[in-house]
Amino acid sequence: YERIAPPADPLGKSRHSLTYGPSLRVRNSSASEKSREGVFLGYRLDSSGTPIFLQTIGHWKIEEKLESLEDGRLKRTWWLSSDAETQESNILELNVVPQGKYQRPEPNTIVENSGLKIVLSGIKKPEPTATGWRLPLTKNHRQIEVQYQW
């Protein structure tokens, strides 16, 4: 295991901006409550040595993993869990792109003008926002996945 990664050759010359600020926010379904941002708790390594980032947002425990796929896509997976006995109705705000011009050919897909395609899976009816999606969050939601394809 080497902590410092060797230099990598870029896959292209175009630049893509991802999000500004936190990727995830949780808010209570009541409009009066402000969004809660996460508290970073560190990371752990999976069996292949890939880091899984750990954070909490309110009573939610969140793990996040980024993986490069063989076909050049980037897969970002979040696992969510909660030990809270009372489950208030929460909304998860998932921010995957900066505000800008893009198309939504399907409810779970964003295509930027640069050609970057972002696909959400794990949620049946995502609500679009200016930077991604707003998702109802219940104790049954365990995994959310976003894939970036250039």
Q: How far apart are the first and last CA of the chain?
A: 29
pTM: 0.80
Calpha distance 25→92 (Å, rounded): 6
Mention every residue, 6+ apart, whose C-beta is less than 8 A from residue 75.
66, 67, 68, 69, 145, 146, 147, 148
Task: From first to last of the 150 residues of the chain, give the pLDDT tens digit.
Answer: 556 766 667 666 766 666 666 788 877 655 445 556 778 999 999 998 899 999 988 778 899 999 988 888 999 999 988 876 655 667 888 888 877 778 999 999 999 888 889 999 988 788 998 888 988 877 666 889 999 998
Numbers of helices and strands, H then E, in the chain? 0, 12
| Residue pair 25/95 in contact by the 8 Å Cβ criterion | yes
Helices (H), the chain: none
